[in-house]
Structure 1
Amino acid sequence: MDNSGGAAALGLDFGTTNTVVALADGVENSRLLEFAGADATGAVFRSALCFWEEETGWNGVAHEAGPWATAEYLQSPLDSRFVQSFKTVAASPLFDRAMIFNRPLRFEDLGRLFLQKLVAHAGGQLDRRPARVVVGRPVEYAGARADPALARQRYDLMFRAFGAEIVYVHEPLGAAFSYAARLTEPATILVADFGGGTTDFSLVHVGEPGVSRRCVPLASSGVGIAGDRFDRRIVERLVLPLLGRGGQYRSMGKVLDIPGGYFAEFADWSRLAMMRNRRTLEELRRLQRYAIEPEPIGRMIALIEHEQGFPLYDAVGRLKRELSSAEHAEFRFMGEGVHIAAEVRRADFEEWIAEDLQRIEAALDVALARGSVAEHDIDRVFLTGGSSLIPSVRAMFERRFGLDRIATGGELTSIAHGLALIGGQENPAEWAAQP
Structure 2
Amino acid sequence: MDSAATALGLDFGTTNTVAALADGTGESHLVSFAGDRATGPVFRSALCFWEDEDAWNGIAHEAGPWAIGEYLDSPLDSRFVQSFKTVAASASFERALIFGKPFRFEDLGQRFLQRLVAHSGGRLDRRPRRVIVGRPVEYAGARPDPALARQRYDAMLADFGVELHYVYEPLGAAFSYAARLTEPATILVADFGGGTTDFSIVRVEAPGAARRCVPLASAGIGIAGDRFDQRIVSQLLLPLLGKGGHYRSFGKVLDIPGGYFADFADWSRLAMMRNRRTLEELRRLQRDCIDPVPIGRMIALIEHEQGFPLYDAVGQVKRALSQGEEAVFHFEGGGVDLRATVTREAFEQWIADDLIRIEAAMDVALDRAATDAAAIDRVFLTGGSSLIPAIRAIFDRRFGSERIATGGELTSIAHGLALIGEQPDLAGWTA
Q: Pick one of 137, 140, 152 that aligns with 2:138.
A: 140
In 2, are the aligned partners of 1:250 and 1:291 still within 8 Å (CA)? yes
Whole-Å separation in 2 of the counterparts to 1:178 and 1:134: 14
Aligned to 1:160: 158
TM-score by length of 1: 0.96
1:410/1:279 Cα in 2 relative to 1: closer, same or farther (>3 Å)? Answer: same
Whole-Å separation in 2 of the counterparts to 1:416 and 1:4: 17
RMSD: 1.4
Instruction: Identify unmatched segments of 5+ residues in structure 1.
Output: none
In 2, are the aligned partners of 1:142 and 1:224 still within 8 Å (CA)? yes
* Worse-matched range after superposition: 98-107 or 375-384: 98-107
Q: What amino acid does structure 1 have at the position aligned with 2:61?
A: H
Q: Pick one of 304, 311, 314 that aligns with 1:313.
A: 311
- Helix, strand or coil: the match of 1:274? coil
Structure 1 segments of 4 or more deviating over 4 A? none
Q: Pick one of 276, 287, 290 that aligns with 2:288.
A: 290
Q: What amino acid does structure 2 have at the position aligned with 1:397?
A: F
Aligned to 2:205: 207
Whole-Å separation in 2 of the counterparts to 1:111 and 1:68: 16
Aligned to 1:12: 10
In 2, are the aligned partners of 1:169 and 1:432 still within 8 Å (CA)? yes
Residue 252 (structure 1) shift = 4.5
Query: Quick check: 1:233 aligned with 2:231?
Result: yes
Residue 391 (structure 1) shift = 0.8
Whole-Å separation in 1 of the counterparts to 2:64 and 2:2: 26
Q: Pick one of 73, 76, 83 that aligns with 2:74.
A: 76
Whole-Å separation in 2 of the counterparts to 1:355 and 1:57: 47
Aligned to 1:217: 215
Q: Pick one of 258, 277, 298 that aligns with 1:300.
A: 298
Aligned to 1:361: 359
- Helix, strand or coil: the match of 1:6? coil
Instruction: Identify unmatched segments of 5+ residues in structure 2.
Output: none
Whole-Å separation in 1 of the counterparts to 2:341 and 2:356: 25
Whole-Å separation in 1 of the counterparts to 2:61 and 2:105: 15
* Worse-matched range after superposition: 159-168 or 264-273: 264-273
Aligned pairs, how many?
A: 431
Residue 304 (structure 1) shift = 0.9
Superimposed CA distance per residue, residues 298-329 of structure 1 (whole angstroms, 9 cap, x where no aligned partner): 22121111110111111111111111111211
Query: Quick check: 1:416 aligned with 2:414?
Result: yes
Aligned to 1:338: 336
Q: Superposition pairs for residues 48-63 of structure 1, below 5 Å?
A: 48-63=46-61
Whole-Å separation in 2 of the counterparts to 1:361 and 1:269: 25
Residue 239 (structure 1) shift = 1.1
Residue 27 (structure 1) shift = 6.2
In 1, are the aligned partners of 2:2 and 2:123 still within 8 Å (CA)? no
Residue 4 (structure 1) shift = 9.8
- Helix, strand or coil: the match of 1:404? helix
Whole-Å separation in 2 of the counterparts to 1:320 and 1:257: 30
* Worse-matched range after superposition: 257-266 or 78-87: 257-266
Q: What amino acid does structure 2 have at the position aligned with 1:263?
A: F
Aligned to 2:167: 169
Whole-Å separation in 2 of the counterparts to 1:56 and 1:182: 51
Aligned to 1:404: 402
Q: Pick one of 26, 35, 42 that aligns with 1:44.
A: 42
TM-score by length of 2: 0.97
In 1, are the aligned partners of 2:378 and 2:403 still within 8 Å (CA)? yes
Residue 353 (structure 1) shift = 1.0
Whole-Å separation in 2 of the counterparts to 1:255 and 1:391: 43
- Helix, strand or coil: the match of 1:56? coil
Whole-Å separation in 2 of the counterparts to 1:78 and 1:96: 25
Q: What amino acid does structure 2 have at the position aligned with 1:215?
A: C
Whole-Å separation in 2 of the counterparts to 1:113 and 1:217: 34
Residue 47 (structure 1) shift = 0.4
1:304/1:400 Cα in 2 relative to 1: closer, same or farther (>3 Å)? Answer: same
Whole-Å separation in 2 of the counterparts to 1:300 and 1:200: 34
Residue 211 (structure 1) shift = 2.2
Whole-Å separation in 1 of the counterparts to 2:106 and 2:288: 39
Residue 5 (structure 1) shift = 4.8
Residue 285 (structure 1) shift = 2.5
Whole-Å separation in 2 of the counterparts to 1:164 and 1:285: 51
Aligned to 1:35: 33
Residue 242 (structure 1) shift = 1.4
Residue 49 (structure 1) shift = 0.6
In 2, are the aligned partners of 1:167 and 1:429 still within 8 Å (CA)? no
Query: Quick check: 1:197 aligned with 2:182?
Result: no
Query: Quick check: 1:327 aligned with 2:325?
Result: yes
Superimposed CA distance per residue, residues 325-380 of structure 1 (whole angstroms, 9 cap, x where no aligned partner): 11211111112343222222211211111111111111111111111111100000
- Helix, strand or coil: the match of 1:431? coil
Whole-Å separation in 2 of the counterparts to 1:171 and 1:156: 17
Whole-Å separation in 2 of the counterparts to 1:147 and 1:282: 34
Aligned to 1:242: 240
Superimposed CA distance per residue, residues 17-47 of structure 1 (whole angstroms, 9 cap, x where no aligned partner): 0000000012621000010000000000000
1:78/1:210 Cα in 2 relative to 1: closer, same or farther (>3 Å)? Answer: same
Aligned to 1:96: 94
Whole-Å separation in 1 of the counterparts to 2:125 and 2:306: 35
